Amino acid sequence: MENVYICIVMARYIFNPEHDLCLASGEVDYIPPASAVEFAHQCRWIERYMADGASAGGEIVPWGWNSALRKRLLQEGCPADSLPDDKFLGFIRSNSRREGAVELLGQLWNDGGDSWKSGIVSPEYRIVARNIQEVEEFLGRMGRVVLKSPLSGSGKGIRFVAGELMETDRGWCRRTLERQGGVVVEQRLDVEQEFAMLFGYGPDAEVRFVGYSLFYAANGAYKWNLLASNGHIEGLLGKWVAPDVLEKVRCGVERFLQERLDEAVGQGCRILRGYVGVDQFICRRGQGEVPLYNPSVEINLRMTMGHVARNIFDLHAEELGLGEGTHCFEPLQGVIPAVI
C-alpha cells in the first residue's frame, strides 16, 4: 500500500509593528528605525496569538497591510494575487488617518439623541486644524491641548502643549501641515480608564464585533492589556458606562465601519481580511460630577494588542492558567500577573 502524505497549509501571520510608521511615510521603500526592528524581533512570539481561527489555510495575515510590506512579500516570491492591490492599500491608509475618529465621534453624537449627550464627550473637544492660526486659536480657548499628526506610530506624532506654542511646536506643526495636510488638536482631558472595541472583517467585507480591550497607556504609548472575558471587562466598565450605552455605541461604530467597507467595495476594492480597534476612554470632570465617555479616540485599521489579548484569553486561558483579570499581557514580558 502506498504511503499517503497529507499537507496542511497554515495561515501565515506576520507581526510588523512598524506598520503605522510605514503608513505615515507613504513610501514603498520605507526603512523603519532600528528601535522598531528590534521591537519586532523581540516580540515575534506574538504571531502565535494573532491567530483567531477565522483565517483560511495559506492566507497571509499581517499586523497591518501597507505598500512596504507588499513589496517585501513580492520579493520573497509571494504571488501577487495573494496580496492586496493598490485600491485596498489606499483604503487602509486613508481610513487610518485620525480625521476618521473625528468624523465617527460626530456621527455617534448626532445619532445618539439628546438623552445621552450629557455623558458623552462633545465633538467640539477636538478640531482638525489646516493652519497654525487654527491651532493657536483652539489652544487659546482650551489652555491645554494635545497635537496629533493625522498618521503616526503608537506614541509618535503626539505633542502635549499648555499655554502657548513654543517655536519647536510651531516647527512641528508646519512640517506636519506640509506633509499630511492637517493637525488634529484635542483639548487635554484627564483620562480615568482607556479601553477599545475590537472588530474584524473578512474577504466578504462584513464587519463583526470581536469584543473589548481594557488597556493602559502613558503619554499616548501603549503599555499593557488586562486579560479577561468580554463579560468581565464590560462589568468593570459598568462603573462608568451603562451596558445599553456600550451597545448603542457598538452598533454605531459597526455601522460606520461597514459603510466605509461598502463604499470601498463599490469602488472596486478587493477586500482582504483585516482588523479594527476603536480606542475609547473615560475621563474625569469636576469634583462630584459624573465622568465623561469618549467613544471615538482613535481608529486603528489593523490588528492591535487588544486583539492579541482577546485571543490569548478566549483561546488559551486554560493552558496558561488564567483567571478573570488575574493576569495581563505586556509585549516584551508576555503574560504576567496583573499589575492593577
Q: Are residues 61 and 176 in the same domain?
A: no
- On whether residue 181 sits in a domain, the answer given is yes
Query: End of a domain among 187, 217, 242?
Result: 187
Q: How far apart are alpha carbons 62 and 65 in whole angstroms?
A: 6
- On whether residue 327 sits in a domain, the answer given is yes
How many domains is the chain built from?
A: 3
Q: Are residues 202 and 324 in the same domain?
A: yes
Q: Are residues 181 and 151 in the same domain?
A: yes
* 247-259 mean pLDDT: 97
Q: How far apart are alpha carbons 259 and 135 in whole angstroms?
A: 31
- On whether residue 235 sits in a domain, the answer given is yes
Task: For residue range 148-160, list pLDDT tens digits in order.
Answer: 999 987 667 999 9
Which three-class secondary structure string do you get for 177-204?
A: HHHHCCEEEEECCCEEEEEEEEEEECCC
Q: Are residues 16 and 131 in the same domain?
A: no
Residue 6 φ/ψ, nearest 5 degrees:
-105, 120
Q: Are residues 206 and 310 in the same domain?
A: yes
Contacts of 33 (CB under 8 A, 6+ apart): 21
Q: Are residues 65 and 44 in the same domain?
A: yes
The sign of the CA dihedral 259, 193, 273, 206 is: negative
Q: How does residue 56 score in pLDDT terms, banded at 50, 70 and 90?
A: confident
| 252: containing domain | 190-337
What is the reported pTM? 0.94
Q: Are residues 244 and 269 in the same domain?
A: yes
Q: Are residues 73 and 212 in the same domain?
A: no
What integer pLDDT is reported at residue 5 of this predicted model? 41
Query: End of a domain among 145, 167, 187?
Result: 187
CATH number of the domain encompassing residue 160: 3.30.1490.20
Q: Are residues 273 and 147 in the same domain?
A: no
Query: Comparing 7-21, 117-131, 263-277, 307-321, which segment has the lowest mean pLDDT?
Result: 7-21
